Amino acid sequence: MSIVYDKENQVFHLQAGDTSYVMGVVRGYLTHLYWGKRLNRYGASRRIIWKDRGFAPNPDDLDRAFSLDTLPQEYPQTGNGDYRNCAYGMLDEQGGRISNLIYQGYEILHGKEPLSGLPASFGNDDEVDTLKIHMLDELSGLKVELWYHAFHNQSVIARSVRFVNTGEENLTLTKMLSMSVDIREAGFDVLTLYGAHNNERNMDRRRITSGTVQIESLRGTSSPQQAPFMALLRPETTEDFGEVYAANFVYSGNFIAAAQTDAFENTRFQMGMNPWNGQWLLEPGQEFHTPEVVMVYTSEGLNEMSKIFHNFYQDHLIRSQYTKKIRPILINNWEATYFDFTEEKILEIADKAAQVGIELFVLDDGWFGKRDDTTSSLSDWIEDRRKLPDGLKGLEEKIHEKGLQFGLWLEPEMISENSDLYRRHPDYVLHTPGRPYTYGRGQLVLDLSREDVCDYVIESISKVLESAQIDYVKWDMNRHLTDVGSGFYPAARQGEITHRYVLGLYRILETLTNKYPDILFESCSSGGGRFDPGMLYYMPQTWCSDNTDAVCRLKIQYATSLTYPPITIGAHVSGCPNQQTGRETSLSTRGFAAMSANMGYELDLTKCSEEELEQIKQQVDFYKEIRETIQFGTFYRTKNPFEGNLAQWNFVSKDGKDVVGFYFEILSRPAAPIQLMKFKGLERDGYYKDLNTGKIYGGDELMYSGISIPIHKQDFRSECYHFRKVNENSF
């Protein structure tokens, strides 16, 4: 059992991998005692020392040293003494906002039950234990259960919260975070990932000395603007060294993540649903469960943090049957044709794709309704016979005859005003009745807070998926929510619509991914605008960015790999000049950038020269040789492109025998230094053969001495090294 309860001192000690997490009950309040490196046993260290502080209010007037304002807590409330950021808020029928959660008891269970209607991590009785702590606000009857899941072999604690109204009056939850931890130290750096469409996930590291650093999404999705991730680092923490406290939200809607340092050098670390537009009415007897947060601690730097997230997501979150399967190399026609294609053109591209060894053809936007641009047809999922004279089935059969699998683009959450569905059902649009629409990419959003609209989506998408043999689906979402409201719900529930939208989406995904388990689903939101663990639970890969420029991709993929495994990161080789930046890069650099993740192609192969096609064939063959190592090996970042002119990383296969390293030098420099490429994760005393040159290197040499990279007068250059471990006696 990885959860120990010390009855005498009312202390809970969770052990997960190399981590311990400790809480204790103090005068009825659940306090946070420790989160950090694993302890064999928690004794009396870190006891809370009481001190009368000015302006710190007291629940007991006779004891001026006891105040919620200075107590390290696990799920803080507001209004009765703690002025820091609260974890939840509640409104009663009289307009009262005060509650007082008092510890009632606990349950410790083997295993982990699913969260109804929500994506969440999973594990069997031998892999994870669960602690539920029961708390109650006696006056209102609000019961709060804090759920903690300790994974035995991973340094991961997953957390969520269940609210139940056991009283007799309506209660409204005005804030319901999933995680709040009072770390009794300060001086952290806060690491977050920010960006935009075409520029997702830039790394932002800033010191927090006082006050709050907060990031959020209010866009109805997790968003490209801020990723639902935050980590607290010690100032000295690097890739390979130092403490990291990280949290990633298993949710695809609005969120907040915050770090708040108080006057006494404590840091409150929080994550959960965004309270703005995120209320929930609880009638007597009703309950609400928050989404889950995955919490990772390590004392060994950011690379170790990523390793923990990668293994955890592959083993305990992504549940597709493809999670552990080699992924096909795909070609997508979007950048080759946009909306302007004929069946003949598609088949010409597919012909070339088959010739070079590509395995899957994906037909992108423009195949349905009268969709010649973004102004029409979303939600009319019927093939356009002008473009596909033999229908989807006809095209699919012809693609399969060429030995390729067939994939299809869909954007099921959307509706065009110019569509048959809109003409029949204008009420299906997500909007506040009586208010004008706000458009995004010329389209509107379906009201997925409504059960009947979700049923319609399930039915219409099922029809498409059954109309032909479809092996892969790209599930796109190209605008954010506006005018949030629904004529379907009473005024008191209008604050629930954004979350109800996400719940509706999850029900659709749950139904379709269960119904069609053989389809490989890839999630997309104008690229990586909804790259989050919630979507990964249903769909094992995500299109990482619409920006296919290899140089930009170095940063985007580097930062994405902080939390998500390379196998989940869709990366395509596209044409030049690049359509997002106008940049010219060599085919080989484009290839190596894409090979660093889940590689595919997105260019017009019919316009490539014979020479280029030959080079693409060689890339495809090479990726097939190394993809097991890339997709299932361990990933090591060795040079950070956010910090300079270089990007470097290497992969080591699970059995340690295969090693692939990539080197990128962005701009050519006069008086350039000779660069060294140093590897990580090798066996110090092992020997490795360079499969290009036949040279043998010691693991220690590759890791500590490094290999010299020859100078080339060329921008955007790259190298790839492929080593195989050899026996000392074999050379």
Cβ-based nearer residue to ligand DGJ, 145 or 411:
411
Query: Could you tell me the two tokens for 289?
Result: 């469960």
Give the three-state DSSP class for 522. Answer: strand
Distance CA 126, CA 314 (A): 17
Beta carbon of residue 477, minimum distance to ligand DGJ (angstroms, whole number)? 9
User: What is the residue-wise DSSP string for 416-437?
Assistant: -SBSHHHHH-GGGB---TTSPP
Burial annotation 449-471 (CB, 10 A radius, 16+ → b, else e): bbeebbebbbebbeebbebbebb
User: Nearest Cα to 75, choosing from 103, 38, 113?
Assistant: 103
Q: Which is nearer to ligand DGJ, 546 or 719 (CB)?
A: 546
Q: How far is the CB of 572 from ligand DGJ (least distance, A)?
A: 9
- Quick one: 228 or 527, whose CB is closer to ligand DGJ? 527
Nearest approach, Cβ of residue 375 and ligand DGJ (Å)? 12
In this structure, the number of other CB atoms found within 10 A of the CB of residue 176 comes to: 24
User: Which of 581/618 has CB closer to ligand DGJ?
Assistant: 581
Residues 366, 408: Cα–Cα separation, whole Å: 11
User: In 317-402, which ranges are continuous DSSP H helix?
Assistant: 334-337, 343-356, 391-401
**Active-site option among 69, 447, 546, 549:** 546
In whole angstroms, the minimum distance from the beta carbon of 366 to ligand DGJ comes to: 8
Task: For tokens 């260290």, name the residue.
Answer: 45
368-375 long-range Cβ contacts below 8 angstroms, 24+ apart: 369/416, 369/419, 369/420, 371/339, 372/339, 372/340, 373/339, 374/441, 374/442, 374/443, 375/416, 375/418, 375/442
Reference 319, options 17, 534, 596, 530; nearest CA is: 534
323 Rama class: left (phi>0) / alpha (psi -120 to 50) / beta: alpha
We find the least distance from the C-beta atom of residue 357 to ligand DGJ, in angstroms, to be 23
CA angle 565, 567, 573 (to 5 degrees): 120
In Å, how far from its chain's centre is CA 127? 22
Residue 365 or 665 having the CB closest to ligand DGJ: 365
Q: Which residue has the tokens 């004891």?
A: 63
CB-based contact 285:114 (threshold 8 Å): no
In the complex, least distance from residue 526 CB atom to ligand DGJ, rounded to whole angstroms: 5
Between 259 and 410, whose beta carbon lies closer to ligand DGJ? 410
Determine contact, residues 368/433, Cβ cutoff 8 Å.
no
- Minimum CB distance to ligand DGJ, residue 534 (Å): 18
Pick between residue 195 and residue 301 the one whose CB is nearest to ligand DGJ. Answer: 195
Annotated catalytic residue within 471, 476, 532, 658: 476
Q: How far apart are CA 179 and CA 21, in angstroms?
A: 13
Known active-site residue 476:
yes
Rounded least distance, CB 251 to ligand DGJ, Å? 21
Rounded-to-integer distance, Cα 723 and Cα 302, Å: 25
Q: Which is nearer to ligand DGJ, 367 or 662 (CB)?
A: 367
Q: For residue 396, give the 3-state DSSP assignment.
A: helix
* Residues in contact with ligand DGJ by the rule CB under 6 A: 334, 364-365, 409, 476, 478, 524, 526-527, 543, 546
| In the block, residue with structure tokens 């020997």 | 687
CB of 527 to ligand DGJ, least distance (A): 5
**Tokens at 723, concatenated:** 């080593």
Q: Which residue is nearest to ligand DGJ (CB)?
A: 365
State how beta strands 255-261 and 444-445 pair: unpaired
128-137 vs 102-110, strand pairing mode: antiparallel
| Cβ 219 to ligand DGJ shortest distance, Å | 16
Q: How far apart are CA 227 and CA 605, in angstroms?
A: 34
Distance (Å, rounded) from C-alpha 429 to C-alpha 427? 5
Name 603's Cβ contacts closer than 8 Å, sequence gap at least 6.
335, 336, 573, 574, 575
Residue with Cβ nearer ligand DGJ (302 or 605): 605
CB of 173 or CB of 550, closer to ligand DGJ: 550
Q: Based on CB atoms, which residue is closest to ligand DGJ, 35 or 409?
A: 409
Q: How many Å apart are CA 561 and CA 197, to the nearest integer? A: 18
List, in sequence order, the alpha helices (H) in 244-372. Answer: 301-316, 334-337, 343-356
How far apart are CB 543 and ligand DGJ at their closest, in Å?
6
Beta carbon nearer to ligand DGJ, 223 or 449: 223
Give me the least distance between CB of 329 and ligand DGJ, in Å please. Answer: 17
For residues 326 and 318, is the Cβ–Cβ distance under 8 A? no
Phi then psi for residue 272, to 5 deg, are: 170, -165
Spell out the residues 6+ positions from residue 648 whose beta carbon is closer than 8 angstroms to its own. Answer: 637, 638, 639, 661, 662, 663, 664, 677
Given a contact cutoff of 8 angstroms between Cβ atoms, the answer to whether 474 and 525 are in contact is no
Catalytic residues: 476, 546
